[in-house]
Copies of this chain bind each other. A is one copy, B any other.
């Protein structure tokens, strides 16, 4: 099978470089182009400042930055774009490229709350892919977004306990500095410190959770009506968003029942076996002091799915309250890996 040619938009940033890493030697996709700000055009990708320890993959190091327009990308036979663009840039570029027939898998927030665009987390809401199919009625290409990095971990951690009837969430986050991109947070602000505010993040969690768990009614999503409260807080860790999660549910399950839900949880068939899909999207850790960013942020199996598994620990159940600590990799599951998995699902479902 011939690989699908793709472009990475915003390839100089932290998430962009994770896209490059995840797409290197990918069985289905091939990075044929890279784009960044205009000043980069013509420069060699391999000369860019590496922001992740793994560096720029050798196989794409010799690519040169293209202009970020449909014509230039068409000349490189690009069918799919993985976008790590800043929101403001994404707003214009993603729309233009989609209209020109390039399918967009985006980490940007620009179109997440657009009612025609799904926020897709395959294990959580793969039926929402229907929205992308609907977009194709009006446009040559579609836009699919992954969720905000904090939302992503939260939704996956909640997945096994959906049957108990969620009513209210109270969440406090411990978010890594890499979540702010590069250069991001000044060291002078965060070293040995905690900053209890991340611009716009709490509203995103609230709205995105409602949309992701929303019900698809024909071509519209009716958002879930849970009460959601979140404090989003930056802490001095490098990678991994940890969450204190308090859930109030309709039923009154026992601890054993909730544990069993976690242990028996399996992704739906449409997701199973996708290259970047972990066998277990959520694992329950038995140790009393886990998950921890430094230890658990790369969980995920097979190798290609490392960083795609959400770790849950400290599970407690008390009447109608379920409490846990959850950890997700904000750069992989909560960003680049999420969109790569979305593209794999879209391909399997015949959308590419």
Contact = CB atoms under 8 A, between A and B. Distances in A.
Given A196-B289, A244-B244, A292-B193, A174 B235 contact: yes
A187 B195 contact: no
A175 to B, nearest CB: 10
A33 B155 CA distance: 44
Contacts of A39: none
Given A195-B292, A289-B196, A325 B186 contact: no
Contacts of A313: 196
Interface stretch (A87-95, A108-116, A125-133, A176-184): A176-184
A325 B231 contact: yes
Interface in A198-256: 229, 231, 233, 235-238, 242, 244, 246
A321 B184 CA distance: 32
Given A53-B294, A174-B174, A194 B229 contact: no
A188 B177 CA distance: 7
A190 B191 CA distance: 9
Interface of A: 14, 50-51, 53, 170, 172, 174, 177-178, 182-197, 229, 231, 233, 235-238, 242, 244, 246, 288-295, 298, 313-314, 321, 323, 325
Contact of A186 (B170, B185, B196, B246): B185
Contacts of A188: 14, 51, 177-178, 182-185, 238
A292 to B, nearest CB: 6
A313 B294 CA distance: 28
B242 A196 contact: yes
A182 B186 contact: yes
B237 A293 contact: no
A324 to B, nearest CB: 9
23 contacts: A53-B298, A172-B172, A172-B244, A174-B233, A177-B187, A177-B191, A178-B188, A182-B188, A183-B183, A187-B189, A187-B190, A187-B236, A191-B238, A192-B238, A193-B237, A193-B293, A193-B295, A196-B289, A197-B290, A197-B314, A231-B314, A233-B325, A236-B236
B194 A293 contact: yes
- 5 A-B pairs with least C-beta separation: A172-B172, A183-B186, A172-B244, A197-B289, A231-B244
Nearest to A196: B325
Contacts of A194: 174, 235, 237, 242, 292-293
Contacts of A177: 187-188, 191
A279 to B, nearest CB: 16
Contacts of A236: 187, 191-192, 235-237
A184 to B, nearest CB: 6
B187 A244 contact: no
Contacts of A14: 188
